[in-house]
Amino acid sequence: MQLSHSQKVVLSTVLVLFVVFLMLALAEGAVQLRQWVKYGHSGQLDAIYAVDQETGLRVPVANASTRTISINSLGFRGPPVKQPKPAGTLRLTFLGASTTFCAEVSGNELTWPYLVTQALQDAIPDINFDFVNGAVPGYTAESSLLNLRKRVAPLQPDVIVIYHATNDLSRETRSLALEQGIYEDGKVGEKSWLAEYSLLWYLVEKNLRLNDLQRDAVANRERLVFSPPALGAQFRKELTWLVIEAREVAGIVALVTFSHQIRPEQTPEQQLIAAKSALYYMPFMTPHGLIEAFTQYNEIIREVARETGAVLIEGETVIPGDSEHFNDSVHFKDAGSRAMAHRVSEVLLKSTRFQALAAGKRSGS
């Protein structure tokens, strides 16, 4: 049967649409496979979190898992935690956000809280150590305070290690940017409806946005104007309260200065690459401004440690600022997580307070 011209046009259009749809489906499958190979899940990671009705906190779902992430029955990333705490066990708890939760590393055993605990266990084999990774992506020092009160304190930690900065800095600088009229609230991380369902489309949107942000940073358009010493008043207050309440729960509280990939000694091009993800959440900043802001926040961490008597763990620049150690501006890859664990465990092992705590566990007191 001879097809008419209009029928041929319709058939050609259908075939073209079918080929396009097939190519998009294959591309979606490819990016989901890549995501699964790299991160242990094929979509976006929101499915392993839920809002706790009592606290209003976003928390990991008990017993949830991906190929690289396992949540225990209490809703914390890591191995099971015995309750009540066994006699003689020295329990560490880590409070923080995504940089402590460590979704970017290749398994639970490569998170720096796990590696810190393992290093302490290796150094002091006659004491039983366990740990609770109380960190959740998106948390600020204020979130961690509520998390401490409601979820962590009942687990009777002996040592609490606190690692915060980037989410608190994002919150503060967004507020300043709103005041200066260079930022519209709710725009960070905003996704189209299609990006909610398609990982491919989400990544396309995100990368286009990141490229725009890099161009804006180079052009110095609509950048936040701020004085670094004026930053961090709220962070100081909330971090201080977190340490004070943590000290009522645990014998030792440690504060860790914050590591990031962006470094003063890098070339402008290197700084722009290192700042890429930070600019996504703080699109009104420049790499230089980010360096100054993180420096100020680290100074606040040092001051709060001195004022509260917390153990201070410095050495944030010991972790090399490169793509081998960092997945993006602030999150660690496996090598960065190992380096982070080394600097934390080294200071704890040298601390006379930690040595006394360990001696007390050894003697059963």
Q: Is the pTM of this model over 0.85?
A: no
88: left (phi over 0), alpha (psi -120 to 50) or beta: left
Mention every residue, 6+ apart, whose C-beta is less than 8 A from residue 3.
11
**SS3 of the chain:** CCCCHHHHHHHHHHHHHHHHHHHHHHHHHHHHHHHHHHHCCCCCHHHHEEECCCCCCEEECCCCECCCCEECCCCCECCCCCCCCCCCEEEEEEEECHHHHCCCCCCHHHCHHHHHHHHHHHHCCCCEEEEEECCCCCCCHHHHHHHHHHHHHHHCCCEEEEECCHHHHHHHHHHHHHHCCCCCCCCCCCCCHHHHHCHHHHHHHHHHHHHHHHHHHHHCCCCCCCCHHHCCHHHHHHHHHHHHHHHHHCCEEEEECCCCCCCCCCCHHHHHHHCHHHHHHCCCCCHHHHHHHHHHHHHHHHHHHHHHCCEEECCHHHCCCCCCCECCCCCECHHHHHHHHHHHHHHHHHCHHHHHHHHHHHHCC
Question: Average pLDDT for residues 85-104, to the nearest whole number?
Answer: 97
pLDDT level of residue 197 (50, 70, 90 thresholds): very low
What pLDDT, on the 0 to 100 scale, is given for residue 28? 43
Q: What residues does 171 pair with on adjacent strands?
A: none
pLDDT tens by residue, 161-181: 999 999 999 999 999 999 999
Can you give the residue ranges of every domain in the chain? 1-39, 88-363
Q: What residues does 256 pair with on adjacent strands?
A: 313
How is residue 317 written in tokens? 């620049």
What pLDDT, on the 0 to 100 scale, is given for residue 184? 83
What pLDDT, on the 0 to 100 scale, is given for residue 19? 58
Spatial CA neighbour of 147 closest among 246, 69, 233, 72 = 246
Spatial contact of 86 and 151, defined as CB atoms under 8 Å apart: no
Second-level CATH architecture of 88-363: 3-Layer(aba) Sandwich (3.40)
Higher pLDDT, 285 or 10: 285
Spatial CA neighbour of 59 closest among 150, 141, 131 = 150
What pLDDT, on the 0 to 100 scale, is given for residue 200? 47
Mention every residue, 6+ apart, whose C-beta is less than 8 A from residue 83.
74, 154, 155
Spatial contact of 230 and 295, defined as CB atoms under 8 Å apart: no
Average pLDDT of every residue of the chain: 87
pLDDT tens by residue, 27-74: 444 444 454 445 444 445 678 999 999 999 999 999 999 999 999 999
Q: What residues does 92 pair with on adjacent strands?
A: 131, 159
